[in-house]
């Protein structure tokens, strides 16, 4: 449960997001129900409700709440059961997804970040989030197919393995590197085809190969 004082802050933040980007009532509610302070380093907590990315250690960042709202909206979550996230980081995006999906699977390559994220999920009693230390480009075969797949770090290409782990009609959202630019891209699986739509410019940290333990 989230306390009343926090709800006032997350609601104000959600209102700021809506002024910049239209999100569905369900996505807005998921943001209101997620205490972002828990995902931000102690020294930066006073900035937890600003629409900014913040450093979380290991040269990584918790995404801006505006970015998390957009990525979640792009997933078009109606009628979905499971989602796979690549790049758990602080865990904030996964926590927001946990309010919208029955099961969330999230993979992180840096073990220290993932153990901190797991502790946060435990303290918030988000028991529908399943975590794994791995290179997320492998996906998570055991729980496939997923209704949705979300890249929280930018990719040059999407491995075929991940399209194989996406259900028929499923959507994969990823920030794609195009030269020096990045574009949030929606891939929709239709039969043997993958439809691709460019959505908007963005700025994510890149996907890196391998695991750090």
Give me the least distance between CB of 193 and ligand SAH, in Å please: 26
Rounded to whole angstroms, how far apart are CA atoms 166 and 163?
5
Nearer to ligand SAH, 21 or 191 (CB): 21
Query: b/e map of 94-125 (b: 16 or more CB within 10 Å)?
Result: bbbbbbbbebbbbbbbbeebbebbbebbeebe
Q: What minimum distance in Å lies between the beta carbon of 190 and ligand SAH? A: 26
Q: Does 182 bind ligand SAH (CB under 6 A)?
A: no
| Rounded Cα gap, residues 72 and 51, in angstroms | 15
One of 152, 165, 182, 185 touching ligand SAH (CB under 6 A): 152
User: Exposure of 177 by Cβ count < 10 A (0-12 exposed, 13-18 middle, 19+ buried)?
Assistant: middle
The verdict on whether 63 is a catalytic residue reads yes
Enumerate residues 54-113 that contact ligand SAH by CB under 6 A.
60-63, 86-90, 92-93, 107-110, 113
Give catalytic residue positions: 63
Summarize as ranges the residues that interact with ligand SAH (CB under 6 A): 60-63, 86-90, 92-93, 107-110, 113, 135-137, 152-153, 205, 207-208
């Amino acid at each position: 449960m989230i306390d009343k004082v926090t709800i006032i802050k997350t609601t104000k933040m959600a209102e700021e997001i809506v002024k910049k980007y239209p999100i569905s009532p369900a996505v807005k509610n998921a943001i209101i129900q997620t205490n972002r302070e828990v995902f931000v380093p102690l020294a930066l907590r006073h900035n937890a409700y600003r629409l900014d990315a913040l450093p979380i250690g290991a040269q990584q960042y918790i995404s801006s709440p505006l970015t998390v709202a957009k990525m979640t909206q792009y997933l078009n979550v109606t009628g979905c059961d499971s989602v796979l996230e690549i790049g758990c980081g602080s865990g904030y995006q996964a926590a927001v997804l946990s309010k919208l999906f029955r099961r969330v699977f999230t993979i992180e390559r840096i073990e220290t970040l993932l153990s901190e994220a797991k502790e946060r999920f435990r303290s918030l009693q988000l028991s529908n989030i399943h975590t794994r230390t791995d290179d997320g480009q492998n996906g998570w075969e055991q729980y496939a197919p997923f209704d949705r797949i979300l890249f929280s770090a930018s990719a040059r290409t999407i491995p075929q393995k991940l399209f194989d782990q996406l259900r028929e009609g499923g959507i994969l959202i990823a920030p794609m590197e195009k030269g020096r630019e990045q574009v949030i891209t929606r891939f929709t699986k239709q039969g043997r085809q993958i439809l691709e739509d460019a959505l908007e410019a963005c700025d994510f940290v890149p996907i890196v190969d391998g695991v750090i333990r």
